[in-house]
């Protein structure tokens, strides 16, 4: 089976759902952000501070090309779909699941999170701006859309399994 890519805005649940889905399907899980941090020996925040966003986005593309393309679950950073090359790789290499969450839900989930470099400053304003920019791209890139708003982890995992006909 092709790799399953989980995309979506920061706070949509990609990492959490990815781990649970991996356990359920007994498949390995790779997180693009974690893989970048390992390779660069820096946190995402440090990469943004020292090298900038363009460098980080180049790292994402490189990592996408290096990860397995079969029998894995790959959780992605929230901005990975913004680059045409990345969307092409995702579509060619796997099944893209967009984990949707409402803007209000995202704001609530990220309320106390201070680790996101793109949310520095007025967090609610930044969420609103990025959310509106990215939402159409997530939808366009997705093979399937799963709404995570107000749902528990196991419910979302079951919906993903059902939409992929893996029951």
Instruction: Judge whether 95 and 143 are in contact, CB under 8 Å.
Output: yes
What pLDDT score was predicted for residue 5?
98
> Around Cβ 21, how many Cβ atoms within 10 Å?
24
43 a known binding residue? no
Token pair 């201070």 in the structure block, residue: 114
- Give the residue extent of every domain in the chain: 3-160
Annotated binding residue at 15? yes
- On whether the CB atoms of residues 142 and 76 are closer than 8 A, the answer is no
**Runs of H (alpha helix) within 41-102:** 44-50, 53-66, 84-93
Please indicate if the annotation marks 52 as binding a ligand. Answer: no
Does residue 78 have a known ligand-binding role?
yes
CATH superfamily of 3-160: P-loop containing nucleotide triphosphate hydrolases (3.40.50.300)
The answer to whether 112 is a known ligand-binding residue is no
Q: What pLDDT score was predicted for residue 113?
A: 65
- Is the Cβ–Cβ distance between 101 and 13 less than 8 Å? yes
Q: Would you say 7 is a known binding-site residue?
A: no
Model pLDDT, residue 167:
57
50 labeled part of a ligand binding site: no
Residue 11, annotated ligand binder?
yes
116 is in an annotated binding site: yes
pLDDT tens for the chain, 167 residues long, are: 899 999 999 889 999 999 999 999 999 999 999 999 999 999 998 999 999 999 999 999 999 999 999 999 999 999 999 999 999 999 999 999 999 999 998 888 777 766 665 667 677 788 889 999 999 999 999 999 999 999 999 999 999 999 998 75
126 is in an annotated binding site: no
pLDDT at 122: 72
Q: Which two tokens stand for residue 76?
A: 């992605």
**Is 113 assigned a ligand-binding role in the annotation?**
no
Question: pTM to 2 decimals?
Answer: 0.92
Neighbours of 122 (CB within 10 A): 10
Give dist(CA 118, CA 58) in Å, integer. 16
What per-residue confidence (pLDDT) applies to 82? 92
């Amino acid at each position: 089976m092709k790799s399953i890519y989980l995309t979506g805005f920061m706070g949509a649940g990609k990492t959490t759902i990815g781990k649970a889905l991996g356990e359920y399907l007994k498949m390995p899980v790779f997180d693009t952000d974690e893989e970048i941090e390992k390779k660069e020996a820096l946190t995402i925040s440090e990469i943004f501070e020292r090298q900038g966003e363009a460098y980080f986005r180049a790292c994402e593309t490189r990592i996408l090309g290096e990860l397995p393309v079969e029998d894995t679950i790959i959780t992605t950073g929230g901005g990975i779909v913004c680059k045409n090359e990345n969307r092409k790789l995702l579509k060619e290499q796997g099944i893209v699941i967009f984990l949707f969450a409402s803007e209000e839900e995202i704001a609530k989930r990220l309320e106390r999170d201070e680790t996101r470099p793109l949310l520095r400053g007025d967090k609610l304003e930044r969420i609103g701006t990025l959310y509106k920019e990215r939402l159409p791209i997530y939808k366009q890139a997705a093979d399937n859309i799963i709404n995570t708003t107000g749902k528990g982890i196991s419910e979302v995992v079951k919906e993903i399994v059902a939409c992929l006909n893996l029951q």
